Structures are given as C-alpha cells and as structure tokens.
C-alpha cells in the first residue's frame, strides 16, 4: 500500500500515519518530495484496511498495490487450471488445452424443444448442453422458466443424448435442488454480486460457470470468484458476456481483451458467450471466431429449433445455415490455436 | 409497438407479420415508405412479445412504445405517493410534501457505536436511522456485518431514541427475520436485479427502500420496483445512489437528472444517497443541496462517531463541522422548495 | 511518482530503476514489501516521464501522484478567480461571488429571431447572450450556421440590447474573426481536445467558455484549460454539459458532482448547461435549481421565440411559462447560496 | 420516421402533426392504439427534420427509421470497397480480399529511429509505414511532434524502404502540407468530430484513415466518414481503436463487434489498432489474432527500436520476440480467413 499525503500535510500528520501503521505491526517508509510526501507500507494488508488511513488528517489518497484476490490468482498458482464437467465416466474438460463448445436453448420450454435443441447442439459439435430452468427476467410479466420441471427435462435429455448439463441457479434456496440435477451451476450476470448465492454455490460440490456482471470490472469479477473459492470450490469457469457501454448497435459490448487479461491474472478457465454479448444472431459466428483466436477456452451459444416461438431471446438463437457455419468454425479454428476439441479429451474412467 | 421492415422485405414478408399479429387478436397498420415499410401494432402488448417478431424474415427492428411497468407508473396513478415508515404511533412520511432526512452508520458495529451515531443523526435532524446488519462486500475477506445481533442492536437503539429503522436485507432467506426487527427494508445496489429477493421483500409487509443498480437504466430500476409491487407491496421508495461511468474523481456519478425523470414516470417517492454516490465526505453537503433543489423527497447519509475506526466506508462518513453544515442545509433549504420537515407530519395516532 | 515492481522483479531490476531515476537528477526511495517492492520518486516529474519507466524489466505499474496541470490548479492559486466578460464599460462577472445567467438561441438564424430571443433572455434576467454562428453538427446535411453573417447579427443585437455576446468558434482559422465580434469565445464539447483550436483561442485576447468533452475526465478537461492558459490567457470559464453514459432517458448525464470537484482542484469559474445535458426542456428548471444549489457560478440556457421552427435543438429551448419559472429560480435561489445576481456587479468604468 | 403521441394527446394534436407533415409534401399514417396513437411518416426525411415535430403539443417521441448516412452506406453500394494507398506504381490495397499490416513508431523522433522502426516493420511483414509528425497530446507539456521536419523524415524513409506513409493531421491548416508528403492522412480519435478538419481532408485528394472517436457511437463515426465523402473523397478506411468504458485494466475497451457491425452497414474497409486500444504490449498479439478472425481488413501497430526512450506511448510498442510473434500471426492467420497478404496484390502499374 502507498499513502499519498496532501501538499499541506504537516510532519505531525506524517508521524501519525507512521504510528498507526506500526501499531498493527507494519512498517512505513516515508519519501518526502518537493510538493508532498508518500509513505510506502509493508506488512499485513488486511490489518492496514482496518486503519481507515484515508480518514486521517493530511492523507490525500491511499493506493492498494497487491491484488485483493488470492485463491483464484495466478500468482501462487502459475499453471492454468482445467475444470471437468459431467458425471463420473463422462467428464468434459474446460481449460488451456482444449476448446469447449457449449450450446442449447436460452430457456427449457418443453421436453420436445429441449431434446431437439440438444440434438442440434450435438450435431454442431457441442459437448455440453446449456438450458435455463430458472430465468432471471427484467420484467415480472415475462416467462420465468419451468423451475423443477425444467430440471427434470434437462436430466432426461442428458440421459438420452449423453450431454452433461449447464444450468443457471438464481436463488440461494434452489442451489441444492439444481445441484442434484445439473452438472455445472451457472451464476448469471445479474447475480455476480449476489454474495449469498456465491457462497451457497461454493458449497454445492459442482463446477460453477460464473458470468461477468454487466458492469463489473475484471477485479470485481475475480473477487466474486474468490467468494466461491473461499467456500472450498475451485472448479470455477469464468464467462465473458459483454459489458454495458454507450454503444447501442449491440446489446452489450463484448470485452474481448478481458480474455487475455484474465488469463494473465488468474488460473481459472475463461469462455465467451457471444449470443448474449451481441443480442444479434448475425454476430455470433464472427464473435466466436474472435473468441477462439484471442485464446478463449470455449464458447456458450444459444440454439433453438424454432426461434420464432422461443419464450426467451429468440432473436439471438442460431439454426440452419448459421449453425452449420458455427459448427465449421468451432471444428477448424481451434486447431490453428493448438487446441483440441474438448470431446477428444473426455474422461471416461 | 412498431415493426420496422428492412428495405429488401417483400410484400409476403409484410403479410406474414400482419397475419401473425392478427393471429393473437391484434391489428396491424402498414405504412409503406419510399425505402421501407413500417407496421404499427395495436392490441395486447404481452401477446405481441410472444410472437418474437424480430425473428421473422424481413423484420429490421421492433420498437416498443409503451412503458413496460404498470403498477409503479404514474400514467394510471397521477398523484405522487407518500410512504409511511415506522411502527403504529410513530410513522414518518416520505413523499411529495416533505423532505425526509435519514442518517446513520454504514454498518452496525456495536451497541455503543450505533447509539452514538443515532444520537448524532437525531441531533442533526434525522427522523429515520439507517444502519447495516448484513453488508454485501466486494471482498469475502471484508467485514460482512453482525447479522441478527446487529438487528437486535438496531431494535434497542430504536427503543431508546425513537427513530424508526432502515436496514438492508441481502438474502431472500433473511427477509422474514429482518422484517421482524426493521421498519423499512433496504434492497442494495448489487441486489436490484436479484428477483427472488425482490419478490420476498414484496411479500414482507414492510416499506422498501430500493436502491438503483450500479448500472441500471431508469427503466430497469422501475421494473425492479414493479417486481415488488406485483407481490402486493406498493410502499416503495426509490434511492438514486450514483451510476458507474468512466469518471474516476468520484466513486460513482450521481445521476441528478434521474430524480425529475423518475418523478415524471412513476408515483413512487425518490430520495438520494450522496455518501455512496461520491464516496467522499467533502461532496456530501453540496450534493445534498443539489438533491433538495432538484426536488428529491429526502436524503440518506452516512454518519459515524469515529470514522477512523469504522469497519465500512469510513472515508465518506460525516461528523463534527461537516455534520453541522449538513444539519443546517436540511433544516433550511427544503423550505425554499415548499417542503416541510418530515418530523412535522409524523403520524402519531 | 511511485513505481510498483512486479513480484518477480530482481534486485537488479530495482537497481536499474534507481539508476535511471538518478541519471536525471531524481532520488528514489525503495520500500521492499513481503511480495514486492515499491519505489517512491522525488524530483522533477517532467524528466521522469521521459524515462518510460513502465517499459523497464520488472516494473508492474507507475502511478502519478501530483496533478499534471499547473496554471489552472488551485494549489498555487488558492483564491477562486472571477472572469469579466464584455466590452470596457460593461463587463459582466463570472465567479465565486455572483450567479451569472446566460441565455439565447442555440443557433443564430435571422436578425429577428436573434433579437427576439435576446429580449426574452434579458427579460428573464440574463446578463449575457449566447447564440451560435458556427455550428458543429453530427450530420453534414444539417444546418451549419450563418457564419460571419451570424456574427454581424450578434454584434448588432448587442448594440441594441446591451448584452455581451458568447459564441462558439469551431475552427482555428476563424478565431480571429470571431474574436473581433464576440465578447467570449466558446469551445464546444466536440472540440475540447482540438489542441490547435485551444492554442489559437489562448492567443485571442478574449475570455473563453470551455465546455467539457462528452467523455472527458475532469483531469483531461483541466488539461485542455491548461493548453489555453499556457498561451497566456487565464480568463477561462469551464462549462459542465453532461457526459455520455448508458442511460437513455436523457441525452447526456449531467455530472453535478463535477462542480464541487472542479472548484476544489482549480481556481477557474464553472457554470452548467442544463439544456444540452438533458436535451429535454422539462428538465431545464430542476437542473438549474440543482446547479445553483450545488454551487455553480452560473448557467447557460437555450431560449427561442418559436422552438417549432428552430434550426437547431428546438426540443430543448424554453419559452413562455417555462421561461418564467426559470426566471424566478435564477432570481431567487442564488440568494440562498449567498450569491449576487451578476448584473449587480457589472463593471461600468 | 415514426411519431409517438403521448397518451393524453387529443385528436386535434394528431391532426396538427398530420397537417404539418403534409405541408412539406409528406404523407402521415395514423394508427390509434388502446393507449396512444402512432403516426408513420412517408416522404423526404430531410424536410421532416425541419418540422421539429418533437416540439409539437402531444408528441411524446420521434423515432428515425432510416440510416442518416448515404454515401458511405452499404445500402446503395452493396459491394465492399477497396482503398489503394501509395504513389502510382506502388499502391497497397486495404479491402475485403486482403489483410493489410501497417506498423511504425507512434511518433517520428529522428531519422535514425524512424528508419530503424521502418525496417523492423518491413521485416515483420508490414506493407505501410505509420508514424506521427504532429501529435495531439493531452498535456501541453508533452512532446507534440517534429512537425514538417517529421514529414520530411517520413518521406526520406519512404524513399529508402519503399513503404508508403500513413501519418496524422491534427489541424485543418496543415492538411495541404501533410498531403504533399504522406500517402494516407490519418484523422485521430480526438478529431473524429472536428468537422472543419474532416472537410479539409475530404478535399485533399489522398486516402484517409479515420479513427473512431473515444466515445463515438458507430453511427456518429459513419457520419464523420460521410463528412469526408461529401467533399468528394470516398477513399476512407475506418479504424476501431477502443472505446471508453468503466474497465480500468485496459486503456480503452476494444469494441471487436464493431468490425462486423460496420461491415454490414458500410462498404468502407475497416482495420483495428490493438496498440492504442489496450495500451499494453502484452495484449497486441492476442488482439491482432482476434481482429483477423473477426474479419478486419488490417491492423495498425506501434513498433519502436528502443521503447525505453520513446517520446510517446513507449509501453505499448513492440520489439524483439513480441514482434516476431506478431509477424507470424499476420503471415498465417489471414489465410485461414481466405485473405491474401496485401503485398501480394500491390498495384505496380
């Protein structure tokens, strides 16, 4: 930590800062400049936080130097992690050696629609099935998902297609139920800072897909992952899904730089959701290409057998020729990046 | 709703849109322009949503015309509402005729700190006490609040000072407990789109203080209020607390225009939180003045007897001369706006 | 300046930084922490910039501590400045003791429209007349202003009404001509970082109204003022006019906090443009009240005798009862803030 | 255009809108809904703008339907354009069939530094040389470029290396001089809305590289291109260089979606500047890969022989192994996208 004194701070003000730092066992190095002094702090950063140094007289600013997250940081865990998703005997990897393609409908609407979407996903090369049984919707009048019935549909579609299931949980009270049916628990963008949910998910014993909050900084996102990790679960995959900006041409702005930035800071895998980032199906293929090329560990995409009748996000769901284009991209481009298709490394033991 | 066709849409494409609209009982008015056609839709908007018109061939865009919220809209409820906070016999108004000053510590830390802060608040003119027993914190390593012990401290401070209590609830599972102790339930900025919590709070039978999400549009914020209202609770007060922008000089950017914008759209009262908006105590007094002058129905401010030792947001808490300045502002400026101090209208029956 | 080393920086890396700092006459104080070292730099900050310390091996980050602007900073000029606008014998103050109301049409369209607008402005209490002869427009097909003819109209309206003229200059090549006719040169939001224009305006010998760039930070805005000041002109008034955010309810988001923030950092006066911030006439009066209450030194507002036919920004121009409301606000509310009407202090010598 | 009436608009209000539209030769189609009426307008859109319909009684909103740009639109020019850069006998293409790699130093500092950087660029595969003689800098105390001396250095380096020159012009008064020396005129992010400069550049008879404004929407950016096109110059290449958001990890947020969005709306070529987008050299290679994969027509990258001593943006300049990595990417990845290296199609006639 670095404490920056204001130009009119007195020697007494400086001495008071030093004294408080030393009172909790830290050391303080004072550098007196022409205009102002700066004080470098060495010691246990948590104890410094409690000092509220910014409230002391003569203090202009306090800069944190180290990263505030630990368990998810790459600093003490330089090798990037692989997370395995699926039941024993069929575990799909998400990590640095593979490219994992996840697809499925935004919402589970019926057994037929779900199995049709799952078959579309599988034939396009997907190795994991996404689908929402609980939907967080901006309007209380919009379709909120089938709930437990949706989970049962997903479980039966897994049985018939062999695809492990990724599904969202929106309420801490549902975590146990969702974890019984799903192979991976998704925490959505609106819940990234729902700390009670994060902690519950951290205890559930299933891998977690943590979407970035609509306006979360990368640091806040990694702190949300830290909440999950702190409860003992390090099987976390991050998902960039666009941030909110002033640009109206796309629903969100895909922050493509976030992928290499996160990979430098954290050992966790990171994938991209081009469907929700853009909100337009014509951008899904080019953004998937960009995601693969930038080094993402996978993508998660909306597909639907009949977008015209979809109860959720129809305009971004792929089918037909668009899906065929996507299938070709995810089959060929990862090789250029020296990545295997996730299906090649499924753990079957 | 208005459907904009793309320039290359065919007559058949247009006919298909019309047919679908009519299939759910709506009417469609086609205006053919030089370059493209537009189609005006008349009928039940909810049924139109399910048509997914944006997925049809030849459709370039679909514009919604009406507001998506109903219960909180001013359209069918032109008179602005007053919300009453407190136990029978001591109910404090928040609404168009008064200016309500809420103050207290960011977090409840101990009985002594809370009662001291409450006395500071009361002597500065506050009529409601704020204080957090459950704290949503970005870091899992930060102080998370005293929980139920904090609620008991707040209840006992209410008993000794007479100030009704406003306190945050962060988890749907805690709503019942918090509602037993508190007079008003606060939903924080990170939980504005936690729909499970909103619904639970809507059922709790206590007034709600709904903070704006860090990057929520005004429309999304009113939709969050609609979630609460839909469960039967219209005793909702909105709280503008700053939005996230690129400007680093303040923690958030106080969207002062949101106050008149919301008052034109909704009948709900709206107050301002200048402490969290700015994150700097030197801005609390000028932003409070601006809030009163723009027409806000109240403010909520952090005060703390010893900011140096505060476990949460010490740098923005007021005391001493700053608090005296604030007291003077909230006593005098509302009169210029033809508003009474909330204490003058307390319902004591 | 503070240099933060990365955790894997070697002693040699640290020594190399120290050596480079000392090579330009600076001193470097090293604080070695548990995880990493930080180095405090003391000396001439300009010489440090040329070292490109961020490019050295082992350097993680470089933090600037001092403000990068000097002439406009309040640090060495603690008393807030007053800028005088108008010809000798009729100079209107903008500064800390007064509240200055500037009004007029967005664009000068004809002699009649301009004189009518000027009379509306004057009778509402304005002491300076705004009006654009050169208009920067997003579309090349939109009305671009009357140019020199517009300047002549403004000059003749000044002669007949006595109101000094504030008008925009958009091209460095026009500065001399505009300065011959106008009393104050406005630099618009799109040109805040047009450094050639800033320098030309700095040489023109007339006061300058510098609008904030649509997405400029406060620091960048003060640096733009520094460009003008560096050419010898300190008669600069800043104008907050809203920043670009994700909120669509208003054209821009008025950053009301910027007023006290700027007043703490700089001695220059600062006013607010509520018309362009909101883009809606119904918000002009409440935002003017907020601006006065937060401590702004004035406002600049669009008025037009017939908004229906305005060639520019008609929807935000006031007339009739709205203008009367505004007149009442600017006459009464500044007194509450202990400010005189600017007309009371006009320099007539 | 669509006019949305407010719920309380009267039949007379509607009739007044219709009458005004018809007064300029347009037709108006009224659709009366349950809550409100909407009016579709057909006819000459420019004439409708002058009606200021938003100022009429009972009008709630006016939505534009068509794109406001024409010359740069893809609507009447479906085939994507190629722009040729360089003197007769050595013209390098930028367009849909090729991938063009532009590299060079941020600023021209000396003949040696420039020729060294040019050789680095050429050996890494660049076919055009970038380098700034006029530098727009946030601080008036920072290096502002060598001016005309810099242009002469660039011209002599072109003579010795054969690389055509891309260089920035920041002032309308310099356009003629810069156009005499350079092969392509760059308009920087701060000048995207400097309309006088755009018009001058539009007359200069040289291709233009138009960077996106830091917070310009895609529509505003295309309108800026329209300004240039309107003066008779359609040899415009757009350059995405990141937009301003709340995320501090990168200097700007590269809006990768803008590339396919622009390609759908406009026939103009579009390239990416990963160096300025990120402000960090470690992100240049991954962002270049993403740019190629998303379908960009080229990239422009900072290289410098000695970043430690660079007078501008040293921390983002590549050299050594990073540059070799980049060279490999730009040589191989475009083939996967079915694009030729620009050098393969140079016009030598």
If you measure CA to CA, which chain C residue comes closest to D198?
Answer: C140
**Which residue in chain B is spatially nearest to A195 when comparing CA positions?**
B136
Task: Specify the pLDDT at position A79.
Answer: 95
Distance CA D56, CA D100 (A): 51
**Closest among B283, B324, B339, B297 to B121, alpha carbons compared:** B324
CB contact at 8 A, A212 and A187: no
Q: Cβ C257–B246 below 8 Å, yes or no? A: no
What's the mean pLDDT in D153-166?
A: 96
Confidence of residue C339 (pLDDT cuts 50, 70, 90): very high
| N- to C-terminal Cα separation, chain D | 48
Count of residues making up chain C: 349
Residues of D in Cβ contact (< 8 Å) with A218? 247, 249
Most B CBs within 10 Å, among C293, C297, C325, to test the B interface? C293
Above pLDDT 70, what percent of chain B? Answer: 100
| D173 three-state secondary structure | helix
> Quick check: D34 and B40 CB within 8 A?
no
Residue with tokens 């018009």: D199
**Contact status of C292 with chain B (Cβ, < 8 Å):** yes
Q: What is the dihedral of CA B291, B295, B298, B300, to 10 degrees?
A: -20
Residue D231, token pair as written in the block: 């003066």
Of C247, C289, C292, Cβ closest to residue B255: C247
Model pLDDT for residues C108-163, shown as the tens digit of each residue: 999 999 999 999 999 999 999 999 999 888 788 888 899 999 999 999 999 999 99
Task: List chains adjacent to chain B, taking adjacency as at least 3 C-beta pairs closer than 8 Å.
Answer: A, C, D
C38, C43, C246 member nearest A245 (Cβ): C246
Give the gap in angstroms from C-alpha B227 to the nearest C-alpha of chain A.
5
Query: Span D229-239, mean pLDDT?
Result: 95
Across the range B108-137, mean pLDDT stands at 94
Identify the CATH homologous superfamily for domain B2-63. Phospho-2-dehydro-3-deoxyheptonate aldolase; domain 1 (3.30.70.1140)
Select from 3.40.50.300, 3.20.20.70, 3.30.590.10, 3.40.50.10490 the CATH code of C83-345.
3.20.20.70
- Quote the minimal CA–CA distance from A214 to chain C in Å: 12
Residues in chain A: 349
Rg, Å, chain D Cα set: 23
How many interchain CB pairs under 8 A, A with B?
100
Q: Do C286 and B277 touch (CB under 8 A)?
A: no
- Nearest CA-CA partner of D20 in D59, D1, D48: D48
**pLDDT category of residue D254 using cuts at 50, 70 and 90:** very high
Nearest CA-CA distance, residue C138 and chain A, Å: 16
Contact status of C215 with chain D (Cβ, < 8 Å): yes
* A202-215 mean pLDDT: 95
| DSSP calls for B254-273 | -BTTHHHHHHHHBSS-EEE-
d(Cα C50, Cα C53) in Å, to the nearest integer?
8
Q: Do D31 and B38 count as a contact with CB atoms less than 8 A apart?
A: no
Q: Which of C143, C220, C226, C151 is nearest to C189 (CA)?
A: C220
Tokens of B159: 């008993």
**Cβ <8 Å between C250 and B264:** no
Q: What is the DSSP string of D68-103?
A: S--TTBSTT--SPP-EEESSTT-BEEESTTEEEEEE
Q: Per-residue confidence at C32, pLDDT binned at 50, 70, 90?
A: confident
Name the region of B77 (left: φ>0; alpha: ψ -120 to 50; beta: rest): beta
Q: Which helix (H) or strand (E) holds D5?
A: strand D2-5
Say whether A170 and B195 touch across the interface (CB within 8 A): yes
Mean pLDDT, rounded, of chain B = 92
Contacts of B41 in chain D (CB under 8 A): 31, 33
- What is the average pLDDT score of chain D? 92
Residue B69 phi, psi (nearest 5): -105, 155
- pLDDT at residue D54 in the model: 84
Q: Which helix (H) or strand (E) holds D346?
A: none
C219 touches chain B (CB under 8 A): yes
Closest partner residue to D55 (CB to CB) among C68, C141, C315 is C315
Return the SS3 of B30.
strand
Nearest to D336 among A248, A253, A336 (CB): A336
Please state, in angstroms and rounded to a whole number, the distance separating the CA atoms of residues B112 and C141.
Answer: 68
Domain B2-63 and domain B83-345, same fold? Reply is no
Q: What is the mean pLDDT of residues C164-177?
A: 96
| pLDDT higher than 80, residue C314 | no
Q: State how far residue A218 is from chain C, nearest Cα, in angstroms.
A: 17
Contacting residues of A for B308, CB less than 8 Å apart:
51-52, 55-56
Residue listed under structure tokens 């897994």 = A158
Flag if B65 and D33 touch (Cβ within 8 Å). yes
How confident is the model at residue A10, as a pLDDT? 93
pLDDT bin (cut points 50, 70, 90) of residue C321 is: confident
Q: With CA atoms as reference, report the closest residue to C228 among C47, C44, C69.
A: C69
- CA distances D114 to D110, D130, D310, Å, are 6, 10, 11
Whole-number CA gyration radius for chain A: 23
pLDDT tens sequence across A96-114: 999 999 999 999 999 999 9
From B339's Cα to the closest Cα of chain A, the distance in A is 34
Which residue is closest to A290 within chain D, CA to CA? Answer: D290
Q: How far apart are CA A150 and CA A109, in angstroms?
A: 7
CB contact under 8 A, A142 and B314: no
Q: What is the pLDDT at residue D267?
A: 97
pLDDT at C95 over 80: yes
Distance CA B227, CA B247 (A): 31
**What count of other Cβ atoms lies within 10 Å of the Cβ of residue B78?**
8
H-helix or E-strand containing A238?
strand A236-240
Instruction: Find chain A residues with C-beta within 8 A of B193's C-beta.
Output: 136, 138, 190-191
More confident residue, B131 or A45: B131
Interface test with C, best of D50, D141, D178, D247 (most C CBs within 10 A): D141
Is the predicted pLDDT of residue C275 greater than 80, yes or no? yes
Given a cut of 80, is residue C285 above it in pLDDT? yes
Task: Provide the pLDDT for residue A114.
Answer: 96
pLDDT band at D45 (very low <50, low <70, confident <90, very high): confident
User: Within a 10 A sphere around the Cβ of A248, how many other Cβ atoms?
Assistant: 11
Burial class of C11 by CB neighbour count within 10 A (0 to 12, 13 to 18, 19+): exposed
Q: How far is D148 from chain B (nearest CA, A)?
A: 36
CA distance B273 to B254: 9
Residue D133: is its pLDDT beyond 80? yes
Query: What phi and psi values does residue C270 have, to the nearest 5 degrees?
Result: -140, 130
Enumerate the residues of chain D whose CB falls inside 8 A of the CB of residue C46: 141
Give the per-residue pLDDT at A275: 93
**pLDDT tens digits, C190-217:** 999 999 999 999 999 999 999 999 989 9
pLDDT band of residue A300 (cuts 50, 70, 90) is very high
Measured CA to CA, the distance from residue D122 to residue A61 in angstroms comes to 46
How many Cβ atoms are within 10 Å of D63's Cβ, its own excluded? 15
For A98, A340, C121, C213, D65, the CA distances from A335, given in Å and listed in that order, are 9, 6, 69, 45, 43
In whole angstroms, give the CA distance from residue D74 to residue D77: 5
pLDDT band at D1 (very low <50, low <70, confident <90, very high): confident
Touching chains, A (3+ CB pairs < 8 A): B, C, D
Contacts of D293 in chain A (CB under 8 A): 286, 289-290, 292-294, 333
Distance from the Cα of A29 to chain C's closest Cα (Å) equals 6
- State the pLDDT at residue A68: 83
- Tell me the CA end-to-end span of chain C in Å, nearest whole number: 48
Interchain CB contact of B50 with A (< 8 Å): yes
**Measured between CB atoms, which of D215, D256, D264 is closest to A290?**
D256
Interface test with D, best of B31, B44, B250 (most D CBs within 10 A): B31
Beta strands in C189-280 (DSSP E): 208-211, 236-240, 270-272
Per-domain boundaries in chain A: 2-63, 83-345
Give yes or no for residue A76 having a pLDDT over 90: no
State the first-to-last Cα distance of chain A, in angstroms, to the nearest integer: 48
Inform me whether the C-beta atom of residue B283 falls under 8 Å from chain C C-beta atoms.
Answer: yes
**Binary contact (D172, C170; C-beta < 8 A):** no
Q: What percent of chain D has pLDDT over 70?
A: 100
**Residue pLDDT, tens place only, D303-337:** 988 887 777 777 778 877 889 999 999 999 999 99
User: Checking DSSP bridges between strand A165-168 and strand A184-187, what pairing results, if any?
Assistant: parallel
Q: Give the helix, strand, coil percentages of chain D, each rounded to 5.
A: 40, 20, 40
User: Among the listed ranges A176-180, C185-189, D59-63, D118-122, which one has the minimum average pLDDT value?
Assistant: D59-63
Q: Which residues of A touch D264 (CB under 8 A)?
A: 282
Quote the pLDDT of residue A171. Answer: 93
| Residue whose C-alpha is closest to residue C72's, from C295, C298, C265, C297 | C265
């Amino acid at each position: 930590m670095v404490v920056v004194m204001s130009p009119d701070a007195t020697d007494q003000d400086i001495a008071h800062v030093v004294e408080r730092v030393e009172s909790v066992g830290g050391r303080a190095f004072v550098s007196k400049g022409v205009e102002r002094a700066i004080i470098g702090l060495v010691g246990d950063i948590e104890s410094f936080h409690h000092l509220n140094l910014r409230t002391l007289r003569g203090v202009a600013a306090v800069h944190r130097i180290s990263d505030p997250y630990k368990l998810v940081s790459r600093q003490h865990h330089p090798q990037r992690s692989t997370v395995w998703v699926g039941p024993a005997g069929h575990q799909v990897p998400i990590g640095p050696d593979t490219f994992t393609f996840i697809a499925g409908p935004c919402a589970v609407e019926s057994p037929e629609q779900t199995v049709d979407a799952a078959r579309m996903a599988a034939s396009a090369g997907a190795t994991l099935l996404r689908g929402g049984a609980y939907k967080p919707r901006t309007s209380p009048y919009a379709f909120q998902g089938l709930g437990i019935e949706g989970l049962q549909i997903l479980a039966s579609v897994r049985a018939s297609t062999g695809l492990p299931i990724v599904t969202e949980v929106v309420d801490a009270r549902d975590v146990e139920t969702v974890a019984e049916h799903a192979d991976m628990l998704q925490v959505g963008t609106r819940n990234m800072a729902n700390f009670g949910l994060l902690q519950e998910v951290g205890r559930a014993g299933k891998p977690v897909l943590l979407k970035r909050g609509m306006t979360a900084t990368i640091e806040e996102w990694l702190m949300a992952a830290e909440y999950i990790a702190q409860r003992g679960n390090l099987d976390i995959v991050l998902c960039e899904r666009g941030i909110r900006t002033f640009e109206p041409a796309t629903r969100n702005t895909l922050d493509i730089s976030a992928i290499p930035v996160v990979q430098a800071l954290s050992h966790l895998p990171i994938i991209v959701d081009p469907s929700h980032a853009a909100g337009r199906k014509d951008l899904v293929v080019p953004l998937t290409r960009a995601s693969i090329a930038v080094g993402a560990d996978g993508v998660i995409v909306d597909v639907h057998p009949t977008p015209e009748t979809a109860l959720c996000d129809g305009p971004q769901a792929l089918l037909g020729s668009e899906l065929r284009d996507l299938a070709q991209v995810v089959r060929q481009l990862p090789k250029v990046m020296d990545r295997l298709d996730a299906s090649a490394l499924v753990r079957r033991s």
